[in-house]
Chains A and B, each alone.
Chain A
Amino acid sequence: MTEATPDGAVVEAVELSKCFYLEDVEVHALRGVSFSVPEGQFLAVMGPSGTGKSTLLHILSGLEPPTSGRVTIAGQLLSGLSDLELTLLRRRRIGFVFQSFHLVPTISVIENVCLPLLLDGVSRSQSRERAAALLSQVGMQHRLHHLPSQLSGGEQQRVAIARALIIRPLLILADEPTGNLDSVRGREITGLLHAVAREHRTTVIVVTHDPRVALQADRLIVLLDGKIGYDGVPVADAEALAKLLSGTVT
């Protein structure tokens, strides 16, 4: 998995800006955000509500275009890609993990995990083989044929991570992956994402409100009013983090 740019960046964001119009009022979600993320890095993005964290994630995944600026994923400029090319990029290079898990409720755990491969034309047996192996890795080998509704929140999120991993992505984008979990399950999921980044050399970008998740990351970016307020190593001290998030320290 060595599809990073020559300088080693899997994700490169340059001067990203995003404006929305809410009932004729211009809202600046992002204002000239630039950063790059190297292969295998676990990046946490924090910030108060409404500072553009989720918008940043959407733009990085190609689900939403920036108003200005550019995004490069594995050396590929997103702005020039068609809908189909963006779809294939998501299908083959990017894994998603959501706060609400978003598993298909009517099919089993293993079938949920197989889904991205089946969409890509991989055979059923091959998909199931890989899915079973991944589910085993995330500790869900005993739940292969259960329906999502029969799992706990933590288990559902493990399945979602397995689904994100099955395509062997370059990049995993996780939006509040521990938001619906208790602290123990949250720690487990964060550990799992961290292990993925280490073992598979997969770049992981996690948007979170949870300082414990941020603490386990390799790097922390704090967004304040659509701008990068902090970019560096995670801050362990709760008070210092609170100051960072409130914008009193940059």
Chain B
Amino acid sequence: MIPLRLIVSGLVQRPLRSILTVLSVVSAVASVVAVAQAMLATKQQMADFHNAVASRVSFEIVAIEGGEFDPNTVPDLKGVKGVASVVPVCTVFTSVSFGERQVRVVGTGIEPELLDDLRDVRLAAGRYYEVAAEACLEKSVADRLGVVVGDKVTIRTRGVPLAASRTVVGIIEFPGLGILEEHGSVFLRSEEAARLNRTKGMASSVYVVVSDSAQEASVRSAVLSLLPSDLVIADKVSPAEIIGPTEVLVDVSLNIVALLSVVAAIFIVVNTFQISVRERQPLFALLRVIGATQGQIRSAMVLEALVFGVVGTVFGIIAGMIGGNLIAGAMKNLYSLPMPVPSTSLVPIAMGVVFGPLVTLISVWYPSRIACGIPPLSIMRALPEVRRGLAVKQLSMAGVVVLAGAVAMLLIARTLRLSSVVSVPGIVGLQIAALLLLPALIRPGVQVVYRVFERFCPVESLLGYQQIVDNFGRSSLTTAVMFIVTAASISIGNSILYVTHDIQTWVDSTVSSDFLLRASRPQIDMSAAEHVPDEVRERLSVFNGLADVDQVSFSLVTVREFTATMAIREFRKYEYLPLSLIEGGNSEVRDGMMNGDVVIGTVLASKLGVHQGDSIRIRMGSIEHEFRIAGVAREYTAGGLMIMIDRAMAMELFPVDSTHVYLIRAQVGKKSETQAIAQKLAAEEGLIFQSLADIRELIQRMVAGITNGLWLILMLSFLIAAFAIVNTLTMNVIEQTRYLGMLRVIGIARGQVFRMFLMQAIALAVVAIIPGVLIGIGMSWTTSVAFEGVSDHAVQFRLDSRLVMGYPIAALTLAVLAASLPSFRAGRLRPLEAVHAD
């Protein structure tokens, strides 16, 4: 056994080397713990977000002809495996007035004890309703009316001349609805809502909640088989589906970040240990000469690694938890939701406890092999170390094999539409393949940089170049860390940007008006929107400042087995259609729509497997017609299950006569005047007024909450990369101390040493960053392809030039800054001390 004292004295008397080695383990463990914690927090918050924003309703049972039906005709579904809850609901269009104020809202008749089954709900004040004379108001409605618990409000139902007075006994709040501004409502007992609707004993829907562990598709088919022929199943679309693609991407990205953080961490630790061992090669050679066996040296290395591993793990877990909590806290603020940051889970700590010692043991395996293989003669021949080239050819071959495997996984994921379980390893596999192929690029890449630098500082460039080439293994590992971070950042950053750009493009294309007026806040599938009175159009028409008013209606229709929302608009008024077309040009699609064709959303097109020029049969109630598809449009409303049709054509073929929304466009220069008029009209008629800016802001806030969280995680990765550069270059300086001393003795100036190291840093950064950017772009594109496999939203790939141009400049600057400290240290070495350093 090599005496412990020898190891300990080495650690104590080389504090910088020891600290850097421990710091490499700390950073590795911290990154794994922080990313694991951030992942758990993000996933938890996404789940909470869904619970808060989206109802838990998986699907609903409605009458095939539309309208109300007797809920008793629905068989007992609670016995169906996987059904968690069955909730009959009676929806009624009402206006609620209090004093002079009046608002139009959707009345929901539901038993109060079942509210919790549908979504997260909180009683902001009072209690739930118990008898027919009592009601609860949604908080935004109560605020608009100025109602408090105990007030009496008057509820009027469309088509019923008499008004009913009800006592408000509770104010209900839905966590998360603040940012989505979904419909406000009045809640009543179900038989009371039905009575107000003059449909006593009837329900408009029966909501079905499927338990988390059950397969929704199998439950749905089991329920469908039990239903009488006049009832069908309709999808319940959640408001959160607008950000669905971003969420899928976040999920994929988080998994990629997690895997890459592990890979990067291993590289950092391996690199540090390798440098640490190489520096001590003379010591190991001496020990071999005086009789230390290979096993003794290996045991010493393992023992030392374990010490570093345990110490690094303890500090790494602490640092990681602090970092993870900071990220999670920041994300909580960004979500703007009243949700707690998830309590500290044991999982990240457990991961750190396992990962730290394990990664140090893995990392020491290769260097200990080198140490054991050191020929004792190296010391007798006064060779400070033994250079070992990297098996570039073997690595490249391995890279090709991994590449083939990754491509195969991605193809399988896409073909079989598998989830991220397959696509994420495929994408990470691509990067690992590139990583294995990277060493083949280092020599020619560095040579190019050397040629450039040679013009300005020939000696320093030559020495720097020589150092990189002579220490090929170390150069490869340093490059690998930078490469991983660059590729991951470009890939994930670009993916985030093109998805958000896609949503933004959709908003810009489709929300072409300045303001809108609607009677009630609709369900997101527009299935329960109140009609705007016809006199509103007449009143609007008398104003001079309006450029245009577009009447919009929504109806639920079915296409094959899918329920979709038909948006009926006056498309013929638009020269440029307010659609974000993916298939079909503006003029051909417009011509088609004027002739009775329809445009369908991308998600519906994907589900149906149809394209521009194909035909579909659309059924509304009992009426069914065949339509040609004029085009396919990017669509996020109603989960993308949308059909767009010109109003005149729809009115000819279907019973459509009401208007749910008026879209108002102001004349140039008369925007504020028009806004004032529309707001006044909304106040007088009890309508809801919204501006285009509000809608844009709403969507931007939803997307920004998640994307900003991801940027924070990427920043963490960026910091890890910066540390890797500082760490490896500082270790390089330590390792090259004697060599630097010799150079200083023969007359190299401090500035020249500084420039020599700077050249090394820039050359390694260039060799890592350029392939990193290219592979990152490739991974981003691959993510979009894999993404199509897991989501029906076909998000078009797009390269963000700001990111692709800006990132390399930022990364190179970071590399230079990170390299400055060790370069400065190298320049300050005293020649005689350095030349005698062991």
The answer to whether A106 touches B290 (Cβ under 8 A) is: no
Given known pairs A83-B294, A106-B9, A118-B3, the reply for A98 and B380 (CB within 8 Å) is yes
Assess A115 versus B6: contact at CB under 8 Å? Given A100-B382, A106-B14: yes
Chain A residues with a Cβ closer than 8 Å to the other chain, count: 32
A87 at interface (Cβ–Cβ under 8 A)? Answer: yes
Contacts of A124 in B (CB 8 A): 3
Cβ of A64 under 8 Å from chain B: yes
Range of interface residues on chain B? 20 to 34
In the docked arrangement, what's the CA distance between A167 and B292, Å? 13
Q: A58-B377, A63-B380 are in contact. Are A116 and B290 (CB under 8 A)?
A: yes
A90 touches B289 (CB 8 A): yes
Asked if A236 lies at the interface with its beta carbon under 8 angstroms from chain B, I say: no
Distance of A172 Cα from B293 Cα, bound (Å): 20
Report A-chain residues with C-beta under 8 Å of the C-beta of B381: 54
Are A58 and B380 in contact, CB atoms less than 8 angstroms apart?
Answer: yes
Instruction: Enumerate chain B residues within 8 angstroms of A118, measured Cβ to Cβ.
Output: 1-3
B287 at the binding interface (Cβ < 8 Å): yes
Q: Report how far A98 CA is from B381 CA in the complex, Å.
A: 10
Which of B3, B13, B377 counts the most chain A CB atoms within 10 A?
Answer: B3
Determine if A105 is an interface residue (Cβ-Cβ < 8 Å): yes
B10: Cβ under 8 A from any A Cβ: yes
Chain A residues whose CB sits within 8 angstroms of the CB of B838 once the complex forms: 105
- A91 engages B290 (CB within 8 Å): yes
Q: Is the CB of B2 within 8 A of A119?
A: yes
Minimum CB–CB distance for A68 against chain B, Å? 19
Evaluate contact between B290 and A54: CB separation under 8 angstroms.
no
Complex-state Cα separation, A87 to B26, whole angstroms: 37
Q: Which residues of B contact A212 (CB under 8 A)?
A: none
Interface residues of A in 102-131 (CB under 8 A from B): 102, 104-107, 111, 114-116, 118-121, 124
Given known contacts A102-B286, A106-B10, A87 and B292 CB-to-CB distance under 8 angstroms: yes
User: Does A184 lie at the interface of the complex (its beta carbon under 8 Å from any beta carbon of B)?
Assistant: no
B167 interfacial contact with A, CB 8 Å = no
Dominant SS among interface residues on chain A: helix
When distances are taken between beta carbons in the complex, the residues of chain A under 8 Å from B596 are: none
Chain B residues with CB below 8 A from A98, complex form? 379-380
CB distance from B298 to the nearest CB of A (A): 13
- A70-114 Cβ-contact flags toward B at 8 Å (1 or 0): 000000000000011001101110001010101011110001001
Output the nearest chain B residue to A107 by Cβ-Cβ distance.
B9
Give the docked Cα–Cα distance between A105 and B282 (Å): 11
Say whether A121 contacts B377, CB under 8 Å.
no
Q: Is the CB of B293 within 8 A of A84?
A: yes
Residues of chain A within 8 A of B2, CB atoms compared: 118-119
Q: Which residue of A lies closest to B9 (CB)?
A: A106
User: Shortest CB–CB separation between residue A18 and chain B, in angstroms?
Assistant: 13
Min CB distance, B832 to chain A, in Å?
Answer: 12
Interface residues of B in 229-269 (CB under 8 A from A): none
Q: What is the chain B residue whose CB lies nearest that of A120?
A: B291
Task: Indicate if B695 sits at the interface (CB-CB under 8 A).
Answer: no
Render B271-309 as a binary contact track against A, CB cut-off 8 A, 1 for contact: 000000000001100111111111010000000000000
Binary contact readout A17-31 vs B (1 if CB under 8 angstroms, 0 otherwise): 000000000000000
Q: Does A163 contact B (CB under 8 A)?
A: yes
> Is B5 interfacial (CB-CB < 8 Å)?
yes
- Chain B residues near A91: list those with CB within 8 A: 290-292
With A118-B3, A119-B2, A119-B287 already in contact, the answer to whether A54 and B380 are too (CB < 8 A) is yes
A90 near B13: Cβ-Cβ < 8 Å = no
**Interface assignment of B827: CB less than 8 Å from any CB of chain A:** no
A92 to B13, CA, bound (A): 30
Contact with B along A160-187 (1 / 0, CB 8 A): 0001000100000001000000000000
8 A-B residue pairs with CB within 8 Å = A63-B375, A63-B376, A91-B291, A98-B380, A100-B382, A115-B287, A116-B290, A119-B292
Q: Given contacts A106-B9, A119-B296, could you give 18 more A-B pairs where the C-beta distance is less than 8 Å? A: A54-B380, A58-B380, A83-B294, A87-B288, A88-B291, A90-B289, A90-B291, A91-B290, A91-B292, A96-B290, A100-B382, A105-B13, A106-B13, A107-B5, A119-B1, A119-B2, A121-B1, A167-B291
Instruction: Please report B residues at the A interface, Cβ cutoff 8 Å.
Output: 1-3, 5-6, 9-10, 12-14, 282-283, 286-294, 296, 375-377, 379-382, 838
10 closest pairs, A vs B, by CB?
A: A91-B291, A106-B9, A106-B13, A105-B838, A118-B3, A107-B9, A63-B377, A116-B290, A106-B10, A90-B291
Task: Give A residues with C-beta under 8 Å from B.
Answer: 54, 57-58, 63-64, 83-84, 87-88, 90-92, 96, 98, 100, 102, 104-107, 111, 114-116, 118-121, 124, 163, 167, 175
